[in-house]
Amino acid sequence: MTQQHSAIAPAPKNPAQAKRGDWWRDAVIYQVYPRSFADSNGDGMGDLEGVRSRLPYLRDLGVDAVWLSPFYASPQADAGYDVADYRAVDPMFGNLLDADALIRDAHGLGLRVIVDLVPNHSSDQHEWFKRALREGPGSPLRERYHFRPGKGEHGELPPNDWESIFGGPAWTQVEDGEWYLHLFAPEQPDFNWEHPAVGDEFRSVLRFWLDIGVDGFRIDVAHGLVKAEGLPDLGSHDQVKLLGNDVMPFFDQDGVHDIYRQWRLVLDEYAGERIFVAEAWTPTVERTANYVRPDELHQAFNFQYLATDWDAAELRTVIDRTLEAMRPVGAPATWVLSNHDVTRHATRFANPPGLGTQIRTAGDRELGLRRARAATLLMLALPGSAYIYQGEELGLPDVVDLSDEVRQDPAYFRGAGQDGFRDGCRVPIPWTRTGSSYGFGNGGSWLPQPDGWGELSIEAQTGTAGSTLELYRAALAARRTQPDLGAGDSVEWLRAPEGVLAFRRGEFVCVANTSGESVTTSAYGRLLLASGEVAEADGEAKLPADTTVWWTTTP
């Protein structure tokens, strides 16, 4: 399937955007985790036809684009992030015709489609890797991965001391005695990006999906493709900490940027403002900015912001650093609170600060939801692009009490490394109050949904004043109509009480109270939206704890 789709041109959001074609600078992009979004055939697993059937919901929510997590042919050792064929759809999700239909329908609704690309590693069932094993040491196919002899008298030790992000050694020994590198699960061997065939293959894969009509790619482990020359031991480095201060020999190597410059040349051959988005876990936002220089990628996820506690001083610091880092390279800042790899922010904020992004306890559900709503309005008020993870618009918490018998996350079963509790944010979302799997499908669900899930459903929240879903809809509608929201590279900070963030963008003002107590501030004009009840009188406003308010100074 190689037909060329025409690029879409959605209506401009407001007059300030009418002359600008770079839609991605202020886009709100909604992440769909296909296996947990909607199931069209009742097998308990979400699929592309299910996503396609729910596209009108996403249009009405007010997002600009949909990012689809992997749906490629895969043994599913890591939920599709172990790809066996980059040009095929896994049968559990449908086929290429389903992908084509989804993209066409999305474009017809004014939505763009971004797909995941997994270039750091393949599945061990990829034809290249299977041939490499069959052909043995010295095979040209082994040069496309990182095969090495082991250390020790008989080669019985791994080639170096690297550890997998999922726990345990980053090396697995094969029957003929050689070892291969996998920074994640053993079923995910890392490509050797020094080999020209790897680059040739991925440029071909890019063109395959661009010809089908996708609007861009989210690049998985974008910081990991190039390893330090010689694959040196970690030595004095501590166990991998993705948000630590050191650049590890297998992450964030400068050589990745040559790859992305080549990819950008491919993307720029296509009309319609196609984009790249980097998943780049780097030590600092300044290092992240390297990925979005003008001749490289368009956006990079802001994991420093995601990992920030609900604290005014900490938030202001990361906001300032982000805007300062992106300004010299001319790239938009991005803001994100949740995704498929971390505890949902409604649960993170329900727990004490400092616990990180993977949390095992439910915490104070009411507190977490109140803070999550306030954090969302703060995020959507900041200049740049924002990402929403499916279900966060419903205020969904993580499901923290899944039993060992139902868990799927490979990291959970490998002891060290990541905590392995990603299943909690991947439970299928509820669409209806009642019925089989709360409207997810007409069968069960691949991860069990908790009792009471229906009261958080789209059906239950639609049209309900004050619901989290209606708050998101109102916020996204306001973002489309307010000229001072969306793109930009700065904010004007205003004086505010301790524990409160206040900033102006033109005639728009955002005030976020993280203090845990009610505070009184100026009322900055006409109230547009608030995450909680706000009382105004005599030019002042009383903000409850954990509340964010939007004002406009226009009548």
Active site positions, annotated: 220, 269
Whole-angstrom distance, CA of residue 546 vs CA of residue 311: 10
Measured distance CA(367)–CA(467) in Å, rounded: 15
d(CA 154, CA 455): 61
CA distance linking residue 187 with residue 122, whole number of Å: 8
Amino acid at 239: Q
Q: How far apart are CA 348 and CA 28, in angstroms?
A: 22
Q: What's the CA gap between 15 and 10, in Å, rounded?
A: 13
Beta bridge partners, 65, equal 29, 112
Select from 523, 513, 531 the least CA-distant residue to 551: 523
Paired residues of 386 in beta bridges: 28, 335
Name the strands in the sheet holding 216-219, side by side, starting at the edge strand that comes first in the sequence.
Answer: 299-300, 275-278, 216-219, 112-117, 65-68, 28-32, 385-389, 334-336
Contact 243, 341 (CB under 8 A): no
Identify the DSSP state of 157: B
Alpha helix ranges (H) inside 194-250: 196-212
Task: Supply the DSSP string of 308-347, one letter for each residue.
Answer: --S-HHHHHHHHHHHHHHHGGGTPPPEEES--TTS--HHH
Sheet holding 547-552, edge to edge: 492-493, 500-505, 508-513, 547-552, 526-530
- Beta strands 28-32 and 385-389: pairing type? parallel
Cα–Cα distance between 89 and 72 in angstroms, integer?
4
Count CB atoms within 10 A of the CB of residue 20: 11
Q: Kindly tell me the sign of the dihedral angle through the C-alpha atoms of 424, 420, 250, 146.
A: negative
Burial class (CB in 10 A: 0-12, 13-18, 19+), 166: buried
**Residue in 244, 238, 205 with CA at minimum distance from that of residue 223:** 244
Return d(Cα 88, Cα 470) in angstroms, integer: 37
Judge whether 225 and 122 are in contact, CB under 8 Å: no
3-class DSSP state of 276: strand
Cα angle 290-296-299, degrees, rounded to a multiple of 5? 70
